[in-house]
Structure 1
Amino acid sequence: MERLILNENNVKLQVEAKDWEEAVRIGAGILVSQGCARQSYVEGIIDAVKELGPYIIVAEGLAMPHTRPECGATDIGCSLVTLKEPVYFDGDEEPVRVLICFSAVDSESHLDILKMIVGFVEKGWIPAIAAMKEQSELFDFLEKNQDAE
């Protein structure tokens, strides 16, 4: 399943970002470039984090940038970005090196993406994913471990 959701067009590894806002712009920008969201969706994520705090940090080292569909989601989409250096969100001391952004147009269409993210966390894969340097390394890892289940 992860292989179907993640592909060479929506994964960027070891990206440089000066702060959390730039990291979110990069990750959510992939959704925009794929036609899954409008730029207003990116701004909606940033505005929500500024207003509500770092609600998108869901596990150690992992943020899941997303916001309400009406902020500009046009289709279901997903992106994975790892950062060369961690970023810190205002109000949280947890370093974040992996961002899995998603957009959804309703309350159910993104459930496969959420299952993928929960699986990564439960299996303890976030540190390994954060360290990967090449897309092929990530895809091989996911394929090998998916087959082992």
Structure 2
Amino acid sequence: MEGLVLTEKNVKLQVSADSWEEAVRIGGQLLVEQGCAKPSYVEGIIRAVKELGPYIIISDGLAMPHTRPEEGAAAIGCSLITLKEPVLFEGDDCPVKVMICFSAVDSESHMDILKMIVEFVERGLIDDIAKAETYEELLEIIKTK
């Protein structure tokens, strides 16, 4: 896949999180560290999920944490985390094991990230991505299947 948006800086594999909130904070912190979002953006995601329900779950095992740009998005960016133990969101009984957080500054700029996510789902890669132990393994899964 050309223009891969996942790097060793924005990927964390086999993360331990006690709750969906902690998992969102871990993925969101990667956006903050990259300068793509302010801490308020991460809190905005959590607040939105509590208010609106688990709208960020987009497929079995996959959540896509994001919120409105005005909550603190500074630039376009994404992060991918996999969870050692899946987390459950209130109001949904599907365990989430892969989270791809993203920040966008408008409604168009994140289309490459969305295309990547759709491709992962369509190619049935979520379970394999969830099992990856290393960044290199993750790249192999994304490239070969």
- Number of equivalent positions: 145
1:21 alignment counterpart:
21
Shift of 1:3: 5.9
Instruction: Letter of the 1:54 partner, please give it.
Output: P
Query: Deviations 1:36-81 (Å, cap 9, x if unpaired)?
Result: 0000000000000000000000000000000000000000000000
Distance 1:119 1:103 in 2: 19
Distance 1:112 1:22 in 2: 26
* Superposed CA RMSD: 1.0
Deviates more, 1:2-11 or 1:47-56: 2-11
Deviates more, 1:58-67 or 1:135-144: 135-144
Distance 1:52 1:91 in 2: 10
In structure 2, the CA distance between the partners of 1:107 and 1:95, relative to structure 1 (3 Å rule), is: same
Aligned 1:6-85 pairs, distance under 5 A: 6-85=6-85
Report SS of the residue matched to 2:4.
helix
CA contact (8 A) 1:3 1:139 kept: no
Q: Percent identity?
A: 68
2:128 alignment counterpart:
128
Aligned structure 1 segments of 4 or more residues deviating by more than 3 angstroms: none
Q: TM-score normalised to the size of structure 1?
A: 0.94
CA contact (8 A) 2:13 2:134 kept: yes
CA contact (8 A) 1:31 1:37 kept: yes
Shift of 1:139: 1.2
Query: Deviations 1:76-100 (Å, cap 9, x if unpaired)?
Result: 0000000000000011110000000
Distance 2:101 2:2 in 1: 14
2:105 alignment counterpart:
105
Q: TM-score normalised to the size of structure 2?
A: 0.97
Query: Deviations 1:102-132 (Å, cap 9, x if unpaired)?
Result: 0000000000000000000011100010011
Report SS of the residue matched to 1:4.
coil
CA contact (8 A) 1:3 1:142 kept: no
Distance 2:47 2:100 in 1: 18
Name structure 1 gaps, 5 residues minimum: none
Name structure 2 gaps, 5 residues minimum: none
Distance 1:92 1:29 in 2: 24
